[in-house]
Chain A
Amino acid sequence: MEAFLFWSCGALMVLGGVMMVLQRSAVVAALWLVFAFIAASGVFAVLHAPFLAIMQVLVYAGAIMVLFLFVIMMLQGPVMEGERKRMALPLWPAAAIPPLAVLVLVGAWVSQRTPEPLRTALPDGFGGPRDVAAALLGRYLLAFELISVVLLVAIVGALALGHGERKAS
C-alpha cells in the first residue's frame, strides 16, 4: 500500500513537472506546477510528514503559486498565449549536458548505496505539528529566527523594488 501510494504520487509529481516544462502558456505551466506540488504533498504524507503535507498545500500550492499567477496575468495579459519562444535549436545538445551530468552522477551514487527500506518503527506522532513544533522551538530555535529574518528581508526588498520608480519620479 505504501509503495503504491509513493509511486503514484511520485509519478504524478514527475508528470506535473514535465508538463510544466513543456507547456507554452505560462498560466497553464503554473497550473501544472500546482498539480506537481499537490502530488508532492502526497509524497510527504507517505513519508510520515503530515504537517509538511499540509504546509506544502497551504504555502506552495496556495500562497506562492497564487503570487505567480497574479504576476503572470498582470504582466503579460493578451501576450501570454502567444509566448512560444524557447531556446534556439542548435543550443539544445549543450543544454542537455548539465541535467544529464547531474542525473548520471546522482544515479551512480544512489545505485552503489545499499538499499535500506524506509524505517517503519517511528515514535508516536512523528512529523505531526506537536513534534515539528518541539524541534522548531527547541533544538532549532536559531533556524526559526533565521526564517523570520529571511521573510522580513523579503518583505522589505519586495516593497523597495515595487515602490522604487514612483519615488524617483
Chain B
Amino acid sequence: MTVTLNHCLGLAAVIFVTGMAGFIVRRNAIVMLMCIELMLSAVNIVFAAFARQHADAGGHVFVLMNFAVAAAEAAIGLAILVEIYRRRRTVDVDELKTLME
C-alpha cells in the first residue's frame, strides 16, 4: 500500500487530537505545555508532507520557524511556571483560579 497525502494528514490529525485531549484532561501545567509541543509537532508533519508533495522547500522553512516558536513557547511558558511555583507552591491549574473567584 503506497502512502498517500491523505494518510499523512490523517496521522497528523490523530497526533494533534491526542495532544489536544491531553491538554484538556491533564491538570499539571508542565504536562499541558508538553501537549502543546505534541500538537505543534503534528502540524510540522503536515508541513513536511505538503512540502514533499509540491517539491518545494518552503514547507521545510516553516517547520524550522515552528521549531523556533516551540522553543520560545517552552522557554517563556516554563519561566512563567517557575515564577508561579515560587509564589503559589503549585503548578496544578485547578489550584490557580484566583482570577475566577
Binding site for B on A (CB under 8 A): 2-3, 6-7, 10, 13-14, 17-18, 20-21, 26, 29-30, 33, 36-37, 40, 43-44, 46-49, 51-52, 55-56, 59-60, 63-64, 67-68, 71-72, 74-76, 83, 85-87, 92, 95-96, 98-99, 102-103, 106-107, 110-111, 113, 115-119, 121-123, 126-127, 131-132, 134-136, 139-140, 143-144, 146-147, 150-151, 153-155, 157-158, 161-162, 164-165
Contacts and interface: CB of A to CB of B under 8 A. Distances in A.
B78 A68 contact: yes
Nearest to A22: B22
A27 to B, nearest CB: 10
A17 B19 contact: yes
B55 A119 contact: yes
Contacts of B8: 47, 118
Interface string B47-76: 011011111011011111101111110111
Contacts of B63: 49, 52
B45 A40 contact: yes
Contact of A122 (B33, B55, B68, B91): B55
Contacts of B28: 26, 83, 85
B13 A106 contact: yes
A115 B8 CA distance: 11
A92 B8 CA distance: 29
Contacts, number: 242
Contact of A47 (B1, B19, B52, B91): B52
A13 B81 contact: no
B13 A107 contact: yes
Nearest to B58: A135
A118 B38 contact: no
B61 A140 contact: yes
A98 B20 contact: yes
Contact of B75 (A13, A123, A154): A154
A99 B21 contact: yes
Given A17-B19, A102-B17, A140-B58, A68 B30 contact: yes
Contact of A87 (B24, B49, B57): B24
A74 B81 CA distance: 11
Contacts of B55: 119, 121-123, 126
Nearest to B33: A68
A55 B64 CA distance: 8
Contacts of A75: 30, 81-82, 85, 91
